[in-house]
Structure 1
Amino acid sequence: MLLVQEKTATETVVAAVENYYEEFLIVLPRIALAIFIVVAGILIAQVITNLFKRRFLNKAEDPLMARFLAQALKIILSLIAIMVALDVAGLSGIATGILTAAGGAAIILGFAFQDIGKNFLAGIILAFNRPFNINDTIMVDTHFGKVKALNFRYTHVKTTDGRDIYIPNSDVLTKPVENYTADGFYRVDFTVGIGYEDDIEAAKTIIQQILDSNKDIVHNDTHENFVIESELAASTVNLKVLFWVHTIDYRKASRVLRGQVIQQIKVALDTNGFNLPADVKEIKLYRNVEDIPLRLRKDPRDYLEDNNN
């Protein structure tokens, strides 16, 4: 009796394995086709994305938007390929379950990873509405540099000293953004101090001539370059020099050109006999002080003579 039961159990297991094996052989082509669809779908998504990038970037006025849309297109096409593959494999129920689970997981993960979700949504908003374009020079909070890329989670900025800063999109969206190159013009200013005894109008004329003759400075009716009295400082009469530059290359315009103009003005004022005094220290005598109490220090030789005597 025991042998009959063991034989029956063995036959049941063998029959079940054979049944599953036969079903696996039937489903195997569909599984292989599903794997092929996933691989092919991802490759096709990559090809379409690259084609979109090449053609759209060449014609697009907004490279950041083009790159952002290309990333989104690749993700969407890849997800479509995976869902089609599951349906082909006869796992449409699993696909539905995955979508349902993804919805629930999105809510849970939304609370667990609020910063990531916030940056992702901010990236989508910035892709369609933002205060800068690629290669614009911006400042966000204390970060200053040139925009290189906009991704789903961060904005890539290259600083003037060569550092790569990745600013979370939520900061870019919620904090003030200073764009130094939005309209292509930027006003540079610095201060020049001349002596109180110097002719102010003559100094202003010399500086104005330098500004008017410099070809790298902007000259049009909208952007005026001028010199104005700024301050009566302790030792100098300060003149403020203001002029406009093109910001296609912000570093060259705001740093290099500014230094060249400062050098030209300094040389011109020296040549024409203007004083460029440093800070002058004044010793003031009040009414109850008749003179400055000074004590003369003896020459060391006097000490030797006194000792010899």
Structure 2
Amino acid sequence: MKDINDAVELLWSKLEAWGEHIVLMLPNIFVALVLLVITFYIAGFVRNWLGKFINRFSHSAALNNLILTMLHIGMLMIGFFFVLSILNLDRVVISLLAGVGIVGLALGFAFQDIAANFISGTIIAVQKPFGVGDMIETNDYFGVIERITLRTIDIRKVTGELVRVPNKMVFENPLTNYSIHGTRRIDLEVGVSYAEDLEQVQQVVIEALQDVKNRVKTRDIEVMYDAFGDSSINFKARFWVSYSRQVDYVSAKSDAIIKIKKAFDANDILIPFPIRTLDFAIKGGEKLSEELQAVNAVLKNGQQQGGQS
């Protein structure tokens, strides 16, 4: 019974001490609550004000949200640490800071790929080498950019598939942006017979390509011979077209092929077929007809012998 009374007295003394401590801390608790409310208000106000200001300098919504969110969290953390300090919880503040450092280090090792994509996305958002709607080719993917985030880039391929490429891969590998200048050159390979007048062919091709779809009229058409082929003299017809979508390039190339074929037909210019020589491995220069006759004779003899038996 005595042990129970001692335990109750000890508990009561503890409660009295805590109660006295709480009463003494009431002003600090009140100040801490007021400071916490002010911190939330100021953090929200600064975020909204800075959001209107930062949009004038950066048009990347993802980057803007990142900056504003980090600023908002940073201000809340500072206010939270001040609140703990007012409540005489300095040791808790030090422990939290040490814990944040250790946790951050562990998360850095565990999610280094995510961090790399995040950092790459931030750099891409700042440099802006491309934008939504651009036609690009990177990491063997060719298509239109549909969405840019701080982790991935969504590419809609020309065949319809949607590919999400990590920012790290885009940042570290070569990238071709076909939409940045609004024009693109078409190199069309053609071959003509060795018997043709090459200067006449040049002139016919240039005239045929004058009215190709989407052609940039301010840039000259170039027809350059570049090789003696097996059965033709090969040249490249080069011209520039306006480019915003892949169909602009494909349709212009198709139209150029049609116009060149019609122009060649109208001027009796020959596009030769490849010539192939078939070797039947006949020895001694013997004629193919003689070899076939000998084969047929052997087959007939075999049939006659089979019939007699």
Same fold (TM over 0.5): yes
Residue 239 in 1 paired to residue 235 in 2? yes
Residue 259 in 1 paired to residue 257 in 2? no
- How far 1:242 sits from its partner (Å)? 1.0
1:147-158 matches, cutoff 5 A? 147-158=145-156
The 3-state SS of whatever aligns with 1:234 is: coil
Kept in 2, the 8 Å contact 1:156–1:165? The answer is: yes
Aligned to 1:161: 159
Aligned to 1:209: 207
Kept in 1, the 8 Å contact 2:213–2:252? The answer is: no
Deviations 1:176-197 (A, max 9, x none): 2222233332211121223333
Contiguous gaps of at least 5 residues in structure 1: none
- How far 1:262 sits from its partner (Å)? 1.9
Aligned to 1:140: 138
Structure number with bigger Rg = 2
- How far 1:104 sits from its partner (Å)? 3.3
Aligned CA RMSD, in angstroms, stands at 4.3
Deviations 1:240-273 (A, max 9, x none): 11111223x1312322222222223223323443
Amino acid at match of 2:233: V
The 3-state SS of whatever aligns with 1:213 is: coil
Rounded to whole Å, the distance in 2 between the matches of 1:159 and 1:99 is 47
- How far 1:48 sits from its partner (Å)? 6.4
Residue 120 in 1 paired to residue 109 in 2? no
- State the identity %: 22
Instruction: Note closer, same or farther for the CA distance 1:107–1:212 as it changes in structure 2 (3 Å cut).
Output: same
- How far 1:166 sits from its partner (Å)? 2.9
Deviations 1:95-139 (A, max 9, x none): 554343333333343334332333333333333335434433222
The 3-state SS of whatever aligns with 2:7 is: helix
Moved more, 259-268 or 82-91: 82-91
TM value normalised by structure 1: 0.71
Amino acid at match of 1:278: F
Aligned to 2:224: 228
The 3-state SS of whatever aligns with 1:146 is: strand
Kept in 2, the 8 Å contact 1:285–1:291? The answer is: no
- How far 1:6 sits from its partner (Å)? 1.0
Rounded to whole Å, the distance in 2 between the matches of 1:210 and 1:141 is 37
Deviations 1:197-233 (A, max 9, x none): 344333332321232223611122xx43212223222
Aligned to 1:268: 263
Residue 173 in 1 paired to residue 162 in 2? no
Contiguous gaps of at least 5 residues in structure 2: none
Moved more, 126-135 or 234-243: 126-135
Query: How many residue pairs are counted as aligned between the two chains?
Result: 292
- How far 1:40 sits from its partner (Å)? 6.9
Aligned to 1:129: 127
Instruction: Note closer, same or farther for the CA distance 1:265–1:32 as it changes in structure 2 (3 Å cut).
Output: farther
Rounded to whole Å, the distance in 1 between the matches of 2:43 and 2:271 is 69
Instruction: Note closer, same or farther for the CA distance 1:201–1:78 as it changes in structure 2 (3 Å cut).
Output: same
Instruction: Note closer, same or farther for the CA distance 1:166–1:20 as it changes in structure 2 (3 Å cut).
Output: farther
1:1-309 matches, cutoff 5 A? 3-13=1-11, 16=14, 23=22, 56=55, 63=59, 65-85=60-80, 87-88=82-83, 93=90, 94=92, 97-129=95-127, 131-214=129-212, 216-220=214-218, 223-247=219-243, 249-283=244-278, 290=285, 292-294=287-289, 295-296=291-292
Instruction: Note closer, same or farther for the CA distance 1:283–1:289 as it changes in structure 2 (3 Å cut).
Output: farther
